[in-house]
Chains A and B, each alone.
Chain A
Amino acid sequence: MKFSLSWLKEHLGGDADLKTVTDTLTRVGLEVEHVEDKAGDLSAFIVGHILEASRHPNADKLQVCMVDVGKGAPLQVVCGAPNARPGLKVVFAAPGTVIPATGQKLGASEIRGVASGGMLCSSRELGLGDEHDGIMELPENAPVGRPFAPMVGLDDPVIEIAVTPNRPDCLGVHGVARDLAAAEIGELRDPAIKPVVGAFPCPKAVRFDFGDAEPLSPFFALRLVRGVRNGQAPEWLRRRLKAIGQKPINALVDVTNYMTFDRNRPLHVFDAAKVKGDLMVRRGRAGESFLALDGKTYAVDETMCVIADDNGVQSLAGVIGGAATGCDESTTDVLIESALWDPLNIARTGRTLNVNSDARYRFERGVDPAFTVPGLELATQLVLEICGGEPSEIVSAGAVPERNLIIDFPVSEVRRLTGLDLAPAEIKATLGLLGFWVTGHGDRLKVAVPSWRPDVEGKADLVEEVVRIIGLDRVAATPLPATASVSGARLSLIQRRARNARRTLAARGLVEAVTWSFVSKAQAEAFGGGKAELALANPISADLSDMRPSLLPALIAAAQRNADRGVGDVALFEVGQTFLGDRPEDQRMSAAGVRRGTAKARGAGRHWGEATLPVDAFDAKGDALAALAALGVSPASVQVAQGAAPSWFHPGRSAALQLGPKVILGAFGELHPRALQALGASGPLVGFELTLDAAPQPKAKPTRAKPPFEGSALQPVSRDFAFLADRDVPAAELIRAAQAADRKLVTRVDLFDRYEGPGVPEGKVSLALAVTLQPREKTLTDAEIEAIAERIVAQVAKATGATLRG
């Protein structure tokens, strides 16, 4: 919402300056977004008077002027403008002035051998227009040596404010002035609007035709003014419209625009000669269309409200007028319409047809219903004043709806919600200045809400009205009392899991990424998703169309992007939400990581001290198990289910991580070549993904104390075993069997060697285990150790078929 300072002052008495006005606007909630103060910007440009002008000795098109600038001797200025002539009042810029059009600082110069002590400016150079055929010509009475801007009406700063959707009343300058008056920087000029006496009955009738349905217009008023002379609007009106970026068209149209911005009262004018028959306000009909004032043809339908005559649709009610009945210089009889419309219907129509007019903007936010007829009277007065003519009586259809809202308002409500103690008199005065009617005494007030404030519904709104006007800075910061209890976790289990997983994965050298929650449909489908219910109806682009079923596709794609930038050894992870379906319980917290190239946990890239190896499934397994440990899931309890990982993993080099058959914690492994191909990625690339919600809830513990430490004084004993096993036997089964041989004495089993090749039969693998025995009560004898060793061999043989290597 834009207006000029002088425009505002027409509604706001007093002598508040620009700064007071703009500071107050922001303070009361009408945030100033921009102030354009041409006079201030151009204050260095002063009025000069050309005393003499003679031909430049060395250039045909240049003149050498002697210019009086109000102080000192006349200055010699070289000028190329054909209209520079003795006697002319001009805009003079002294050396050192910054020229707006170029941003350059003007230097003292010599032009073709003649010294020039400044510059005479064209309007283009001043950023005021496109005129560049000559220098600006100022009125004869312009005072020499004074800033020129006020002489050409530029001393009127233009203020732009942001008006929040709850304040339609401030979409008119008058409403803005009311807020400022309430803030006591001036008084509201609000003279009563006298009705214009109609000289004859309006020859056009208005009818609502909504059948039995609710009318889409509560009220519609119309008046004819005949015998008008339409032409250019007067300078003051044109200047105001231009100041806010509106293009003056002709007096009648300009009056309606002026009412829109001055009073938040959009109007429409029809050229009566072009209207056939009476006006009908009704729903559009399928197949109807009309040519609007913006030059476009719109198809209307039965959801829209139109104004029609015998020829058909002439206006899209409250949104945009029609070209066929528009007013131009030839108009002599004008029909002025002032109406109310259904805000939701206006909004829908505007959205459907994509018309963003000032009228639509105001009608969908709410105009003052009580001002419908006064607005028509005011517009009539302007038309009569500017264009002459003879007004008819007003005809109307429907009735102005009345709200009559009265709020019971205990003044203590201000203190209750803000902590601020205000005298009832101050509260009453503030509300009164805003146009509320306040009655009652002591603590209990009755407050009647004015018709232009649809946003005010109850006590809290009144508190806001009071504090925003008297100043939020008067509310003192008050320490929030401490809560009764400080014990207990502030984070939920899943929140703690997410942060533990993050720190753990980062500590393994992975770098945390945050990627979009949406992926492409192809990516979603390739990673177990792609459900219709998770496809956005209005995605921002095709590659961000579906809610992600997995964190992996985005991480893999990101790893590849890094590789394409030259960082091929990259380890990324993300902890974030994934979506199985659209219900809240379908949203899960996942943790996933990928490693590419040589980005292994112990370091990336080549190193002088060790062989360079590509990442493999065990890097991903290590990451996954570390993250699970951080969630409280002991790696020893996790089952590694070979072949059970989802399809986007390499079938032979991956596994699911499970607790029993039902609890699937996640999976790890090498990515499937086809999955990589689908993402345009190349390996080596391994990854894992865990569902943090899947890990079991920790058991409630009665105490935080740990079980007593049992440190045996007896030396542990270690024995090595080399087994020959079928290659398909999982090594973990040997380890488990060895552990099971004596759960008390066997405290640790390490698999320290794996070998297949010469010396080992085809299809077999040699697996070497180091078993640690911890004697509990007494040192083990050789015979006892031998007995346990035999049990281990037997147990492993029984469980896996492996034999001790001979």
Chain B
Amino acid sequence: MSDSMIVFDNVSKSYQDGIDAISEVNIRIDRGEFVFIIGNSGAGKSTLIKLILKELDPTTGKIYVNGRFLNRLRHSKTPLLRRDIGVVFQDFRLLNDRSVYDNVAFAQKVIEAPTSKIKRRVTAMLALVGLAERYKSYPGELSGGEKQRVAIARALVNNPPILLADEPTGNLDAGNSWEIMKLLEEINKRGTTVIVVTHDREIVNAMKKRVITIHNGKVVSDEEGGYEYEN
């Protein structure tokens, strides 16, 4: 298990209303992998993300993330788990009253990084995502693609071993979507384990990566290649 970044061992999650969000899911994602998780709305993708981030606890089964056994992880230790996972959302979730620089630096402040390190790291991350010149801009002044780049810079600034992107291209046009995917691929090549939750068929097919397909809360396929699952 030493090379495993994320392990779901027979995991099920039922909500209080009795609905099974995911059922007997077995997934193993190794260090440095690039994985797509695909599925229709209501398939259980969001539950999967919440379980990885320990926003939810499984009803049965075991979950390991970067060597941490989440079932027994105390609430006070949850921040340490989340610092191992950079998260990018479809709606960017930037703080609109703060500049690009401050949005990225915010993630460093939160983990109580030394001030001397913050400037260096933030500048490097903004250069990586191609926004070094726009550090003074506010989110309202940026395009969708640029906003998502800021979100990626924020997710990566703490140097997490895992990047979890939830529909990162959902609000972007085709051109920007490709730019973001290339950026994620570049980040993956630098050693970060990248997990992208999406239902963008075109991108998944073109990237030729490992694809885990979820349908009605169950893993129905897990293979290299493209978006093969059909309803």
A, B co-complexed: no
Question: Which residues of chain A have a CB within 8 Å of any CB of chain B?
Answer: none
